[in-house]
Amino acid sequence: MAKKLQGNVAGNDVYTAVLALAVLSVIASSVYVAMKCMQEYGTILSIVK
């Protein structure tokens, strides 16, 4: 029972890591796009005036 519970926790950490990676990817992409928009257009709300 204890081993089974220990195995489930380890499996859950993997999925958590995958979700964290996805969240970090989304955040990094958002930051990159925001910086790109600020650099080229001066704002992040409109792409073309």
Partner 1 sequence: MSAFTKILTVLLSLASIFLCGAVVSYVASTNNVKAKYDQLDSDYKVLQSSKNVATSRANEIQAEADNQVSKLKEKLAELEVQKNSMMVELTNAQNTAVKWQDRVNSWAGVVKSFEQTISDMEKSLSATRTMLSEQQIKNIELSSKLNEMTTSLDEHIVMLNSLKSEKRRLQEQLASLEQQVNGSAATAVTQLKDKAMPATAPAAYMPITGLVTEVGANLVSVSVGSSDGVSEGMKFHVTRGTTFICDIVITDVDTNISVGVIELKKAEPKSGDTVSTKL
| Binding residue (CB under 8 A) for partner 1 from 7, 21, 38, 44 | 21
Q: Please report whether residue 28 would count as binding partner 1 according to CB under 8 A.
A: yes
Distance CA 43, CA 39 (A): 8
Q: Please report whether residue 44 would count as binding partner 1 according to CB under 8 A.
A: no
Cβ 12 vs Cβ 18: under 8 Å: no
Residues that bind partner 1 (CB under 8 A): 8, 11-12, 15, 18-19, 21-23, 25-26, 28-29, 32-33, 36, 40-42, 47-49
